[in-house]
Chain A
Amino acid sequence: QVQLVQSGAEVKKPGASVKVSCKASGYTFTRYHMHWVRQAPGQGLEWMGIINPSGGSTTYGQKFQGRVTMTRDTSTTTVYMELSSLRSEDTAVYYCARDQRDSGDIYFDYWGQGTLVTVSS
Chain B
Amino acid sequence: SYELTQPPSVSVSPGQTASITCSGDKLGDKYAFWYQQKPGQSPVVVIYQDTKRPSGIPERFSGSNSGNTATLTISGAQAMDEADYFCQAWDSSIGVFGTGTKVTVL
Residue numbers of A with Cβ under 8 A of B are 35, 37, 44-47, 50, 59, 61-62, 95, 97, 100, 102-103, 105-109, 111-114
Residue numbers of B with Cβ under 8 A of A are 1, 31, 33, 35, 37, 42-45, 48-49, 52, 54, 86, 88, 90, 93-100
Query: Does the CB pair A61–B94 fall under 8 Å?
Result: yes
Q: A35-B95, A62-B94 are in contact. List 8 more A-B contacts (CB 8 A).
A: A37-B95, A45-B86, A45-B88, A47-B94, A47-B97, A59-B94, A108-B43, A109-B45
Query: How would you classify the secondary structure of chain A's contact residues: helix, strand, loop or mixed?
Result: strand
Cα distance, A85 to B35, chains bound together (Å): 30
Cα distance, A47 to B2, chains bound together (Å): 12
Query: Does the CB pair B86–A44 fall under 8 Å?
Result: yes
Least CB distance, B46 to chain A, in whole angstroms = 10
Nearest to A36 among chain B residues (CB) is B95
Query: Does the CB pair A62–B45 fall under 8 Å?
Result: no
